[in-house]
């Protein structure tokens, strides 16, 4: 009734009853001390006044207290829900930011994210550094012969080789249909060629197959190194030129400074 809970009604009834008892006790004790008789209208007034005044007043007080408690609990729940929503929104924002920077097929950076990072490093990094560009050989033939799903699997495999070989924290990306790039900070010429050779050999030995048929897969790689301050776009241009030299040299090889190289030749 009137939105008053049973708990509030019970508390108000107990309080009102206590008020009536106290009021009657006062009348029974105080009136004789004053020389009167605690009966008649005076007695009934001691009963009715607490009922008519204390009853509604205590009901209202307990009802308001209950409303305040419910509102406080609701606010606490809303605060928790708001915190949960904030954490979910923060996670969603981080996921969206990661997806905006990531190539969905291979898990590496996409072209825009890589070049933004690469140019930022170029402004602050004096070397030694190496830039490595790898391109899948005869990739159109793979798609034509085995289908684009197998081609996608080949790209994922090359991406996995890149991630595993360059290591965590090294920026690498898929920057074209079948073209990959890695920026190796602190790498000299020997270590850069060693990384490239591990990539080349791992792709060649991937063992990719489709319907029981081996899928021929290899990469050509161009490398450029710098020991001092460098222009990122010029470094990329030089590495890209060496990549095309590797393509022209028969593919499945590494070219640096216009010459074909291998890890064993660098060690010698």
HSE-CB for 16 with a 13 A CA cutoff: 22
Q: Please, which residues have CB within 8 angstroms of residue 30's CB and are 6 or more apart in sequence?
A: none
Q: For the chain, state the CA radius of gyration.
A: 41
Rounded to whole angstroms, what are the CA distances from 176 to 44, 111, 113, 136, 160? 97, 7, 13, 11, 16
Residue 118 in 3-state DSSP? helix
Q: Which residue out of 153, 178, 179, 197 is catalytically annotated?
A: 178
**Residues 259, 118, 116: CA angle, nearest 5 degrees:** 140
Give the length of the chain: 268
Using CA atoms, how far apart are residues 19 and 25, in angstroms rounded to an integer? 10
179 noted as active-site residue: no
Q: At what angle do helices 111-124 and 55-101 cross, to 10 degrees?
A: 80
Active site members: 178
């Amino acid at each position: 009734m009137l939105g008053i809970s049973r708990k509030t009604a019970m508390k108000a009834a107990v309080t009102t009853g206590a008020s009536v008892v106290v009021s009657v006790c006062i009348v029974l004790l105080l009136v004789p001390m004053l020389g009167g008789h605690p009966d008649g209208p005076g007695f009934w007034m001691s009963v009715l006044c607490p009922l008519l005044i204390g009853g509604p007043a205590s009901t209202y007080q307990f009802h308001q207290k209950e409303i305040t408690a419910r509102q406080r609990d609701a606010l606490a729940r809303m605060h928790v829900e708001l915190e949960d929503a904030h954490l979910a929104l923060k996670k969603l924002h981080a996921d969206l930011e990661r997806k905006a920077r990531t190539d969905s097929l291979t898990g590496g950076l996409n072209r825009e994210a890589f070049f933004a990072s690469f140019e930022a490093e170029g402004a602050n990094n004096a070397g030694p550094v190496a830039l490595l560009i790898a391109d899948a050989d005869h990739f159109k033939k793979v798609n034509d012969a085995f289908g684009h799903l197998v081609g996608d699997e080949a790209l994922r495999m090359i991406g996995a080789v890149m991630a595993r070989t360059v290591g965590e924290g090294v920026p690498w990306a898929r920057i074209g249909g079948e073209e990959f790039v890695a920026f190796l900070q602190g790498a000299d010429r020997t270590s850069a060629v060693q990384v490239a050779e591990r990539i080349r050999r791992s792709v060649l030995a991937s063992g990719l197959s489709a319907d029981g048929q081996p899928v021929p897969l290899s990469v050509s790689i161009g490398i450029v190194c710098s020991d001092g301050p460098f222009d990122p776009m010029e470094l990329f241009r030089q590495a890209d030129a060496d990549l095309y030299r590797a393509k022209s040299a028969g593919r499945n090889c590494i070219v640096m400074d216009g010459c074909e190289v291998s890890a064993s030749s660098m060690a010698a």
